[in-house]
Each structure stands twice: as C-alpha cells, then as structure tokens.
C-alpha cells in the first residue's frame, strides 16, 4: 500500500496557514482590483523579502572594516560565484524600494485610504518610509568607496546645522568628529541589526492594522449588506503572486545587466567634484544651496512631519474613500498643482543661481532672515493664497484644496531632486545633463 506523503502536506498547510494568517479568509471583491492599490504595497513587501535574503548572503561575503570593506566588495565580483549579482540585486531592490514606498504613500493619500480606522496605520507607514530611507542611507556607506564616503560626510554634516543638539547628533552618527572606522562600525550595526528588527516590528503592526480596518479602503456606502466577498485563496493570492514573481523576475534580469556602482576606494583627503549626497537626499542638498541650513534641515522637515502626522485626523482634509483623487475629473487638481509646483521651482532655482546669488553679498547669503524666514514666509503665504483662491473663489471642498496643495509639494520635491541628480555638474554649477 502506498503511504501518503505527510511531509509534503505539512509543508503545504504551513505555507497556506501563514498566508491565511496575514490575510482574512475572504475580502470584498472591490478591494482586490489592481487599479485600486496598483500592487504597490505588495511590491514593497516583495522588495523587503528580496533585501532580507540577499542581505543575509552578503553577510557571508562582506567584511566591515575600513581596510577590508572595499576589497570584500571587489571580491564579490571577481572571486565569489554570483557574489556580484547578489550585491547588484540588493542595491537595486533598495533603491527601487524608495520609489515604490513613495508611490505607495501617494496612492494611499490619493485614494482617501487614511480615514475610517486607518489613521494610525498612516503614521506607521510614515515610520516605515523613514526606515526605508535610513536603511538605504546606512547601507550606502558600507562599500567604503569615494561615493559612499563623501555622500555620508555631506549628509551627516547636514545634522551639524541643527541648533543646540545638531553637533551631538552628528557625532553620535559618525561615532566621533569625522567619518571613519567608528562610523562604518555604527552604520554596519544599524544596517544589519537595528533597521531589519524595526522593519519586522513595524511591518507586522502595519499588516495587522490593515486587517483590523477590514482590509483595503472601499467606497463609502450607506448599505453594506450587498458587498460581495471572495475567498482570499485563490483570488487575492494569485494576484499577489503575479505582482511578486513579476517584480522579482524583472529585478533579477536588471541586476544581471546593470552593476551597482563602485567608485575608487574612499579617500578622506580628496573629495570628488561634484560631491553629491545619495539621490533621495539630493532634493535637500539642492535646497541647501538656496536656503539657510537651519530652515532646510530643521524647520521644513519638522513642519512637514507635523502636517503629515495630523493630516488623517482632519476628516474634511482627507479625500473621499476608495476613489482615485476623490472622483472622476478631480485628478486635474493634483496634476495641475504638480506641474505648477515643479515649473515655479525650476524657475526659482535658475533665478536664484544666476541672478540673486550673484547680487547678494556673502554676508547676506548666510543671513537666516534673507535666506531663511523670509523665503519660508513667502512659500507659506503662496500656499495659503492658493488655498484661499480655491476654497473661496472656486468653492472647492477642503479635501480638493489639500489635493492641489499636495500636488504642488510633490512637484517641488520632484523638481529639486531632478535638479540635484541631472542638472548639477562640477562645482555644483547648473548644467544641462547632455554634454
Ligand atoms: C516598507 C514600506 C511599506 C510596506 C512594506 C507596506 C505594505 C503595505 C501593504 C502590503 C498594504 C496592503 C496592499 C496595498 O495597499 O497595496 C499596505 C496598505 C497601507 N499602507 Fe503601506 N507599506 C509601506 C509603507 C507605507 C507608507 C510609507 C504609508 C503612508 C505613509 C503606508 C500606509 C498604508 C495604509 C494607510 C494602508 C491601508 C490602505 C488601504 O486601506 O487601502 N504604507 N501597505
């Protein structure tokens, strides 16, 4: 008599138990539409899994010392089978996660998914977003090449501009006054220990809160009796698998064609020209060239964080649930804001670089009023004027006004980042990307 293979069955039930555990048994059919979530949350989870696995492999190959780190990266490419490929996958997955997490944040906001019991999850999401940035940034130093050394020197140096405790924070991160062996040891511990631990805790919390809110956001309706629900297996699982496997396939292919960057070994005596921060901090670096450091490093981030944390608690500012932009035709407000915000920022960057900087004396350039509070006040008043115009003159609902303002802010962030990446050349001069 043939015996049934219990091991195989057990394996299958463990896997399905796990999948069922993080999902409910059934979900409203409306919430599994790709057009609602764009699969972005699933992509972020997939990328995190890829990062964990490739990160574990890299632990076996990487050596965290200023004398050995660079060489160990070179050996991954020259001596260890698939070592370079694994590093490439880890690098591209980490960078892609910054973009995916940002787009996921936007989709949550643009589909009104921060109301009805989702307020706390929005805040957990913000924590996850900062973890993504910090994970990338702490990993950036580990190859100990010129790119890494100077990007981290620039960014940790930015903390020094925070009044009172800025220097203390900078020294804490660096493990001393300069970027050196202690910085590498600190960043290694943060990157492979503290951050992965925080990801596990906050992701578990994030997923639990999604279940607690009854799944993804749905269009509000008075009659909830005729909501059609479908079993998670196979309806949702098959969609998640398609997104996950598709993404991993594309990533593996990309990583086999494009190597992660590795510049010359770190040389504290010679900075590259231009010396740039990591690309996701280039918006901040660009802003530092125009505004006073205290405003850029302290005032703007703190103000933005307060607004983002409080946003879901102001019900009238949140878009109606479950519809992109709150309804058909409303997207124009966001797109218009984005185009306007980006266009004005590009113009101001050019104007400041070519005319104002030349006209203002060095003394004036360092002045916190000239370069700090006055421009900030102008920005806040301009946003307030848009607010008044839309809500009073065109009788737009408050959530629509917030939508337009969010478009403007997104446009400002994108245009500053694009300028930093493509339009800054030697000496951080404005240049055209081609030629
Ligand atoms: C590592 C980063 C993140 C991971 C792995 C992650 C994962 C997920 C997943 C799998 C979902 C359900 C599917 C989907 O909505 O696509 C979700 C939903 C959600 N996420 Fe995230 N997320 C991350 C970052 C963020 C950020 C940055 C925010 C916002 C600040 C955020 C806020 C939310 C909210 C409010 C929901 C519920 C959406 C709804 O009910 O429709 N998450 N997240």
Question: What tens-digit pLDDT sequence spans the chain (435 residues)?
Answer: 444 444 445 555 666 676 667 888 899 999 999 999 999 999 999 999 999 999 999 999 999 999 999 999 999 999 999 999 999 999 999 999 999 999 999 999 999 999 889 999 999 999 999 999 999 999 999 999 999 999 999 889 988 888 888 999 999 999 999 999 999 999 999 999 999 999 999 999 999 999 999 899 999 887 777 889 999 989 999 999 999 999 999 999 999 999 999 999 999 999 999 989 899 999 999 999 999 888 999 999 999 999 999 999 999 999 999 999 999 899 999 999 999 999 999 999 999 988 776 655 555 556 788 888 898 999 999 999 999 999 988 888 999 999 999 999 999 999 999 999 999 999 899 998 865
Give which of 236, 250, 315, 180 is closest to 26, Cα–Cα. Answer: 236
Mutate to test the pocket of ligand 1, among 36, 44, 51, 247 (most ligand atoms within 8 A of CB): 44
Q: Residue count of the chain, please give it.
A: 435
Mutate to test the pocket of ligand 1, among 23, 30, 50, 108 (most ligand atoms within 8 A of CB): 108
| Rounded-to-integer distance, Cα 16 and Cα 207, Å | 17
Instruction: Give the residue whose CA is nearest to atom 12 of ligand 1.
Output: 41
Between the CA of 207 and the centroid of ligand 1 the distance, in Å, is: 8
Between the CA of 327 and the centroid of ligand 1 the distance, in Å, is: 21
Q: Using the structure block, give the residue that is written with the tokens 């005032």.
A: 299
| Rounded-to-integer distance, Cα 199 and Cα 202, Å | 5
Query: What is the reported pTM?
Result: 0.93
CB 144 within 8 Å of CB 69: yes
| Rounded-to-integer distance, Cα 90 and Cα 181, Å | 23
Instruction: Give the residue whose CA is nearest to atom 11 of ligand 1.
Output: 41
Is 210 touching ligand 1 by the criterion CB < 6 Å? yes
Instruction: Give the residue whose CA is nearest to atom 15 of ligand 1.
Output: 41
Residue 27 host element (H or E): strand 26-28
DSSP 368: T
Between the CA of 2 and the centroid of ligand 1 the distance, in Å, is: 47
| Rounded-to-integer distance, Cα 149 and Cα 166, Å | 20
Residue 422: Cβ within 10 Å count: 13
Mutate to test the pocket of ligand 1, among 31, 35, 41, 313 (most ligand atoms within 8 A of CB): 41
Is 40 touching ligand 1 by the criterion CB < 6 Å? yes
Angle between helices 166-174 and 181-189 (to 10 degrees): 90
| Rounded-to-integer distance, Cα 36 and Cα 326, Å | 12
Residue 193: Cβ within 10 Å count: 10
CA 123 to chain CA centroid, Å, is 14
Between the CA of 417 and the centroid of ligand 1 the distance, in Å, is: 24
Instruction: Give the residue whose CA is nearest to atom 20 of ligand 1.
Output: 125
DSSP 265: B
Mutate to test the pocket of ligand 1, among 37, 210, 318 (most ligand atoms within 8 A of CB): 210
Q: Which residues contact 213 (CB under 8 A, 6 or more apart)?
A: 116, 117, 118, 121
Question: On the CB side of 237, how many CA atoms lie within 13 Å of its CA?
Answer: 16
Between the CA of 125 and the centroid of ligand 1 the distance, in Å, is: 6
């Amino acid at each position: 008599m043939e015996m049934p293979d219990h091991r195989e069955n057990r394996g299958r039930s463990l896997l399905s138990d796990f999948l069922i555990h993080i999902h409910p048994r059934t979900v409203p059919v409306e919430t599994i539409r790709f057009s609602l979530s764009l699969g972005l949350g699933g992509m972020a989870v997939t990328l995190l899994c890829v990062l964990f696995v490739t990160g574990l492999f890299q632990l076996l190959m990487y050596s965290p010392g200023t004398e050995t780190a660079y060489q160990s990266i070179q050996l991954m490419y020259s001596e260890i089978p698939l070592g370079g490929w694994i590093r490439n996958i880890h690098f591209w997955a980490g960078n892609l996660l910054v973009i995916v997490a940002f787009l996921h944040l936007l989709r949550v906001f643009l589909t009104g998914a921060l109301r009805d019991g989702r307020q706390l999850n929005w805040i957990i999401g913000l924590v996850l977003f900062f973890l993504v940035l910090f994970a990338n940034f702490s990993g950036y130093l580990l190859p100990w090449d010129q790119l890494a050394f100077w990007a981290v020197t620039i960014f940790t140096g930015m903390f020094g501009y925070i009044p009172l405790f800025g220097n203390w924070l900078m020294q804490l991160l660096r493990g001393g006054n300069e970027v050196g062996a202690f910085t590498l040891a600190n960043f290694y511990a943060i990157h492979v220990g503290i951050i992965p631990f925080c990801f596990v805790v906050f992701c578990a919390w994030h997923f639990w809160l999604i279940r607690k809110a009854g799944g993804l956001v749905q269009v509000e309706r008075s009659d909830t009796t005729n909501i059609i629900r479908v079993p998670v297996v196979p309806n949702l699982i098959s969609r998640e698998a398609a997104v996950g496997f598709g993404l991993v396939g594309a990533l593996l292919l990309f990583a086999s064609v494009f190597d992660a960057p590795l510049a010359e070994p770190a040389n504290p005596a010679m900075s590259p020209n231009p010396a740039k921060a990591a690309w996701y901090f280039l918006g901040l670096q660009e802003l530092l060239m125009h505004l006073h450091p205290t405003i850029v490093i302290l005032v703007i981030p703190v103000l933005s964080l307060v607004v983002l944390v409080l946003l879901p608690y102001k019900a009238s500012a949140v878009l109606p649930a479950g519809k992109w932009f709150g309804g058909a035709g409303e997207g124009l407000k966001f797109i218009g804001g984005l185009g306007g915000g980006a266009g004005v920022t590009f113009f101001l960057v050019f104007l400041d670089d070519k005319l104002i900087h030349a006209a203002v004396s060095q003394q004036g350039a360092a002045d916190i009023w000239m370069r700090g509070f006055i421009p900030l006040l102008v920005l806040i008043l301009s946003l307030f004027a848009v607010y008044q115009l839309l809500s009073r003159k065109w009788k737009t609902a408050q959530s629509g006004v917030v939508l337009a303002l969010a478009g403007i802010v997104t446009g400002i962030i994108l245009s500053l980042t694009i300028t930093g990446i493509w339009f800054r050349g030697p000496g951080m001069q404005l240049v055209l990307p081609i030629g």
